[in-house]
Amino acid sequence: MDWLTTVDHKKIGILYFAAGGFFFIVGGIEALLIRLQLMFPMGANGESWFLDGQTYNEIMTMHGTTMIFLAAMPLIFGLMNAVVPLQIGARDVAFPFLNSLGFWTFFFGGVLLNISWFTGTVPDIGWTAYAPLSGEEFSGTGSDYYAIGLQIAGIGTLVGGINFLVTIINMRAPGMTFMRMPLFTWTSFITSGIILFAFPALAVGLIYISFDRLFDANFFVTATGGNAVLWEHIFWIFGHPEVYILILPAFGAISEVLPTFARKRLFGYSSMVFATALIGFLSFMVWAHHMFTVGMGDIANALFGVATMLIAIPTGIKVFNWLFTIWGGNIQFTTAMLYATSFIPTFVMGGVTGVMLAIPPADFQFHDSYFVVAHFHYVIVGGIVLSLLAAVYYWWPKMFGRMLNETLGKWSFWLFFIGFHLTFFIQHFLGLWGMPRRVFTYLPNQGWDTANFVSTIGAFFMAAGVIVILINVIISIKGPKAPADPWDGRTLEWSIPSPSPEYNFKQLPLVRGLDAFWLEKMDGKKEMTPAEPLGPIHMPSPSILPFFMSLGLFIAGFGFMYRGYEFESMFINNLFGNNIIAISGLAITFVCMFLRSVYDDHGYHIEVEELQKEG
Amino acid sequence: MSHAEAHLDKLPPEPEKATLEGRNKVLGFWLFLGGETVLFGTLFATFLALRGSVLDGPTGSELFDLKLVAAATFILLTSSLTSVFAVQAMHHKNVKNLMIWLGVTVLLGFGFLGLEIYEFYHYVDVGHGFTTSAFSSSFYALVGFHGAHVALGVLWIGLLIIQLKVKGLNTITAPKIYVASLYWHFIDVVWVFIFTIVYLMGKVG
Ligand code: HEM
Ligand SMILES: [Cu+2]
């Protein structure tokens, strides 16, 4: 019950971790099924050895959608919740209530999407849901699950983004100027800004799909004057920034882990901040590099190609800064550091193929081949997942108050790292040898058999790595208690106990420079100088409303999806057909909003005596 | 001096920014409006891309009656002004005037909605339904979305008037009123673009 009503950002961070981790495993199982199917070519009589085409399309769609929206995003939000307020010396986030609402809408959106597995109509349109494939003519209710599930989850993302923007602007501790903010906070800040401008575009696109499908609108239906390429524009105006929404916090985490374990300050701090902001801006300028082959014309292709290559500049700045950070450092290869250092070359490889893809004439060759699959997995898994794992090992003690086992950590690292390159490196060549993506099977003896076999073996190595991580997590429940500062850290979160108390900082710290805690330690102090006397601390009260608001949207989603459906029972038919379900769902949400607005939440105070008792 | 008025005297000059919660709310709402800008931007872009696709349905220049739309525009712009008066009254801590101006704003909002409903009703009558053409779908999506925003705003401000009556003006209600007025201005600005891009440009051809 506590978990359903919590508005504590640290607990919400843990909720995000649990849900995101769960969906990561679901998406991983889907990936294994994909790779199993592609392990062998089709038989002599043309039969598939494992899955049929429809099932494959469903698994592939759900894999991509799940990994991006239900695994990577929430894990990043989990980290932001766990770390950002601590790094800036804040007692709380700006909107604790909205924070919880953001989690629950994401969660119910994800559940809605995955319920499709049990109702027999799974999205089969790819994570990009291209029109007209996603229209009424070519796809069933699965596409409604996609559009409505993501719509609900997207609300949560937007709300979360605004929350972190305001938190970082308004709630920094005394002395914590913008140019003293740790890099992870900086990247979370820019990422939240990108979310704010990217997600509304997706929301509108998803509404169009729903309108086309449920209310016979004509946005993407070419027969009635609609424009299918319009969807591609809308999707990628959201979709390209989305990949930077994912990678920037990953960059941030790397920029925290490397200095800590190299015992040096981050090289080129201000250029890192500048590069982050520049990447955030450029991410909106390049969406059409996903559309070189739709016939935009040479001039548009050339412009978008060049714009894309420009991103290599700030990214290059970052890579060199990381290298200079570890250069000559006193390096400690903890598990977190292993992940962080292996991230650098892996990500660079993905970046290089990205620049290759940005050359329009070359892209005509690479497009929709396995080369693209290899590229985005190098950046998404090699970039985002490796750095998320670094971040998890690094901040786990702060979040849970327990240490993860280092030996197991190293095992999981090597399994995952070797498995990753085994899976995806060879896919570059598969692509160059002509294997198209999104196919569920292929003819034998075209020179693709061995490479596919190898790639699948690699996937199983990665799965083994993930299993070791799970074991590590489970045994850490009884593992050694974490000290406040297990890594001899540099930033504020390490100056308070692990796990951090509900009010974060008993007294707000006075920040005197970059790497605030390190500065104090270098001056021979053990803790931060407080910026205020000890006083009562105001806390927001827990609330169940966010849960019910999201539940209402979830119910309404079903109501809209099945409004035109023929059920066996007349009664159920009437409920859906007359929009009764849809309206009651929305009513639940609105009543909760009304209650929230009318009853003021005064919260409560933790009194000084209590704080002193805790020591 | 009554109890409530004594309390008003202690209220700082800009009560919406007096607490951290209030400042957070105002900033967060500005950011939210940034997101709304993208939302409407996408709707506008769609409309511009599809407005030529009328199929057998009527075109914009056949449909639009500028006199009606001008009246609606006038009403909505006036309501923005009255919401400014409301915030001014709030800063003068004149709760009575504050409630009156908010009330006028709500009434004008209802007036606008009435005209819009009449307009849509008329269009459907002459064969311009939501499903008629790509042009009509994008028209109703854009203008309808704006209309839904107005309807929500009217409900919201109405609810705030009731809250003011019950709780009075304080550091919790003040940010809500301020933020609602921001929302109302935003809707107004969007309408100016709709008036220009949909109606004026549609009339010309
Ligand atoms: C854990 C190991 C993983 C394996 C073995 C794996 C494997 C695959 C395979 C085989 C495909 C299908 C490509 C095609 O047929 O076109 C695919 C697609 C995709 N994957 Fe992964 N993947 C993994 C992890 C991830 C992660 C962590 C993410 C995101 C954070 C991700 C995002 C995607 C996306 C977006 C697609 C595109 C789907 C589409 O084209 O419609 N993958 N993956
Ligand atoms: Cu892109």
Q: Which of A177, A200, A352, A193 is nearest to A269 (CA)?
A: A177
Tell me what pLDDT residue A501 has.
93
Inform me whether the pLDDT recorded for B6 exceeds 90.
no
pLDDT surpasses 70 at A227: yes
Distance from CA of B32 to the nearest CA of A (A): 7
Tens-place pLDDT, residues A104-150: 999 999 999 999 999 989 999 999 999 999 999 999 999 999 999 99
Partner-chain contact A218 B49, CB within 8 Å: no
* Cβ proximity of B169 and B8 under 8 Å: yes
The whole-number average pLDDT for the span A226-252 is 97
How confident is the model at residue B5, as a pLDDT? 60
Instruction: Compute how many other C-beta atoms are within 10 angstroms of the C-beta atom of residue B43.
Output: 23
- Report whether pLDDT(B4) > 80: no
Mean pLDDT of A454-483: 97
The answer to whether residues A109 and A153 touch, using CB atoms and an 8 Å cutoff, is: yes
Q: Please indicate whether residue A437, judged by its CB atom, sits closer than 6 Å to ligand 1.
A: yes
User: Average pLDDT, stretch A332-353?
Assistant: 97
Read off the pLDDT of residues B37-92 as tens digits, 9 standing for 90 and up: 999 999 999 999 999 999 989 999 999 999 999 999 999 999 999 999 999 999 99
Shortest Cα distance, chain A CAs vs residue B50, angstroms: 7
pTM of the entire predicted model: 0.94
Query: Quick one: which of A197, A186, A185 has its CA closest to A241?
Result: A197
Alpha-carbon span B104 to B83, nearest angstrom: 8
Q: How far is B65 from chain A (nearest CA, A)?
A: 24
Question: A509-519, pLDDT tens digit by residue?
Answer: 999 999 999 99
Residues A431 and A374 sit within 8 Å (Cβ to Cβ): yes
Residues A343-360, mean pLDDT to the nearest whole number: 96
**Min Cα–Cα distance to chain B from A301, Å:** 20
User: Count of alpha carbons within 13 Å of B185, Cβ hemisphere only?
Assistant: 15
- Does A142 contact ligand 1 (Cβ within 6 A)? no
pLDDT in tens, A546-584: 999 999 999 999 999 998 888 888 898 888 888 899 999
Atom of ligand 1 nearest to the CA of A127: 41
Between CA A561 and CA A210 the distance in angstroms is 9
Ligand 1 pocket, residue A377 CB under 6 Å: yes
Q: What's residue A363's pLDDT?
A: 96
Give the span between the Cα atoms of B178 and B26, in whole angstroms: 8
pLDDT band at A362 (very low <50, low <70, confident <90, very high): very high
User: Above 0.90 for ipTM, yes or no?
Assistant: yes
Flag whether residue A394 sits within 8 Å of chain B, measured between CB atoms: no
**CA separation for the pair A592, B117 (Å, rounded):** 28
pLDDT in the model for residue B1: 41
Residues of chain B positioned with their CB less than 8 A from the CB of A221: 134
Share of residues in chain A with pLDDT > 90 (%): 93
Nearest Cα neighbor of A157 from A80, A213, A87 is A80
Q: Check pLDDT > 80 for residue B8.
A: no
Q: Please give the Cα distance from A561 to A553 (Å, whole number).
A: 12
pLDDT attached to residue A46: 84
pLDDT of residue A44: 83
pLDDT tens digit sequence for A37-76: 999 999 888 888 899 999 999 999 999 999 999 999 999 9
Q: Which protein residue has the closest C-alpha to ligand 1 atom 6?
A: A31
pLDDT at B7 over 90: no
What number does the ligand 1 atom closest to the CA of A34 have?
10
Nearest CB to B28; choose among A95, A200, A227: A95
For residue B49, the chain A residues in CB contact (below 8 A) are 227, 230
A208 touches chain B (CB under 8 A): yes
Nearest to A251 by CA among A188, A180, A178: A188
Q: Specify whether the CB–CB gap between A102 and A516 falls below 8 A.
A: no
The per-residue pLDDT for range A372-398, each reduced to its tens digit, is 999 999 999 999 999 999 999 999 999
pLDDT, tens digit, for every residue of A312-327? 999 999 999 999 999 9
- Give per-residue pLDDT as tens, B88-100: 999 999 999 999 9
Query: In the prediction, which pLDDT does A577 show?
Result: 85
**A510-546, pLDDT tens digit by residue?**
999 999 999 999 999 999 999 999 999 999 999 999 9
Question: Is residue B205's pLDDT more than 70?
Answer: no
Chain B residues whose C-beta sits inside 8 Å of any chain A C-beta: 20, 23-24, 27-28, 31-32, 34-36, 38-39, 42-43, 46, 49-50, 53-55, 130-131, 133-138, 141, 159, 163, 167, 172, 176
Pick the range with the lowest mean pLDDT from A255-259, A487-491, A563-567. A563-567
Q: Is the minimum CB–CB distance between A95 and chain B shorter than 8 Å?
A: yes
Q: Cis peptide before A249, with omega less than 30 degrees from 0?
A: no
Q: Is A67 in the pocket of ligand 1 (CB under 6 A)?
A: yes
Which of A30, A67, A376 to mutate for ligand 1's pocket (most ligand atoms within 8 Å of CB)?
A: A67
Residue owning the nearest CA to atom 38 of ligand 1: A64
Give the pLDDT mean for A76-99.
Answer: 97
Q: Is the pLDDT of residue A183 over 60?
A: yes
Is A372 within 8 Å of A430 (Cβ atoms)?
A: no
Cα–Cα distance measured from residue A514 to residue A512, given in angstroms and rounded to the nearest whole number: 7
What would the pLDDT profile of B105-158 be if each residue is shown by its tens digit? 999 999 999 999 999 999 999 999 999 999 999 999 999 999 999 999 999 999
**Is A126's C-beta closer than 6 angstroms to any atom of ligand 1?**
yes
From atom 1 of ligand 1, which residue's Cα is the shortest distance away? Answer: A28
Weakest-pLDDT range from A299-303, A331-335, B18-22: B18-22
- Assign A611 a pLDDT band (cuts: 50, 70, 90): confident
